[in-house]
């Protein structure tokens, strides 16, 4: 538990100065993201681009024991992913490429619609 708290604190500090996306989700054109995102078509590519380098067994490391490389893993970690990406805005940390606001909206819509695994 102490390690998890320390990891979250470090990630929060790393991401504090960084801005997530290029605008708030309220400012994103609703047509810029799919209305009904599909895991294999929309979400898996986002996770590959933004998350899997740290959060998959094929990546350099699995940080905080949180994986995002399969639909089931992502769904199982949906609460913490949502907190880190949307609430605390610390993922990905440091100088890593941040999700565009349109990509964030796609992920948020998928979460809101029940995070269906279409496999």
CA 45, 48, 49: angle at the middle one, nearest 5? 85
Does a structural domain hold residue 118?
A: no
Over pLDDT 70: what percentage of the chain? 73
Residue-averaged pLDDT of the chain: 77
103 within a domain of the structure (yes/no) = yes
Q: Which domain covers residue 70, as residue numbers?
A: 2-112
Q: Is residue 43 a part of any domain in this protein?
A: yes
- For residue 25, is it within any domain? yes
Tell me the pLDDT tens digit for each residue of 37-56: 999 999 999 999 988 888 87
Contacts of residues 1-7 at CB distance under 8 Å and 24 or more positions apart, as own/partner, are 4/64, 7/63, 7/64
Is there a domain that residue 119 lies in?
no
When divided into structural domains, the chain yields a total of: 1
């Amino acid at each position: 538990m102490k390690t998890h708290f320390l990891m979250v604190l470090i990630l929060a500090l790393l991401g504090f100065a960084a801005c997530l996306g290029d605008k708030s989700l309220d400012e994103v054109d609703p047509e810029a993201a799919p209305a009904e995102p599909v895991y294999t078509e929309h979400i898996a590519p986002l996770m590959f681009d933004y998350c899997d380098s740290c959060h998959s067994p094929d990546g350099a490391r699995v940080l905080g024991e949180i994986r995002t490389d399969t639909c089931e893993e992502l769904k199982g970690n949906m609460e913490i992913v949502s907190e880190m990406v949307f609430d605390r805005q610390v993922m990905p940390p440091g100088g890593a490429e941040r999700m565009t606001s349109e990509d964030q909206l796609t992920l948020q819509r998928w979460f809101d619609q029940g995070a269906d695994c279409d496999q």
